[in-house]
Copies of this chain bind each other. A is one copy, B any other.
Amino acid sequence: MKYTAHINVMPLKELLDPQGKAVNNSLHNLGLNGVSDVRIGKCIAMHIDAANKEAAENIAREACKKLLANPVMEAFDYTITEG
């Protein structure tokens, strides 16, 4: 069965996020002053062929652990939908 995984890989909250700080300052310069605590990460979408939803979740978790997320600096979460 075909599933779609949406994975978000974000820097750990306790780490400094220079990229996020730079975007935060740029948004203020563009007049969007209500914005704060900007953090930037990776968003990964993929199709997963699996027997059931649980198997698809296992594949998504494996993909994060083996390749997509660096556990020292990043945390990941994912949602799996059918189709």
Which chain A residues have a beta carbon within 8 Å of chain B's beta carbons?
6, 8-10, 23-24, 26-27, 30, 32, 34-50, 56, 59, 62-63, 66-68
What residues of B have a CB within 8 angstroms of the CB of A36 in the complex?
A: 46-49
Partner of A40, one of B10, B43, B66: B43
Query: In the complex, what residues of B have CB within 8 A of residue A9's CB?
Result: 43
Q: Could you list 12 further interchain pairs (A-B, Cβ under 8 angstroms) beyond the known A8-B43, A23-B68, A34-B49?
A: A6-B8, A9-B43, A27-B67, A30-B67, A32-B63, A34-B48, A34-B59, A35-B46, A35-B63, A38-B44, A40-B43, A41-B44
Is A37 in contact with B47, judged by CB distance below 8 angstroms?
yes
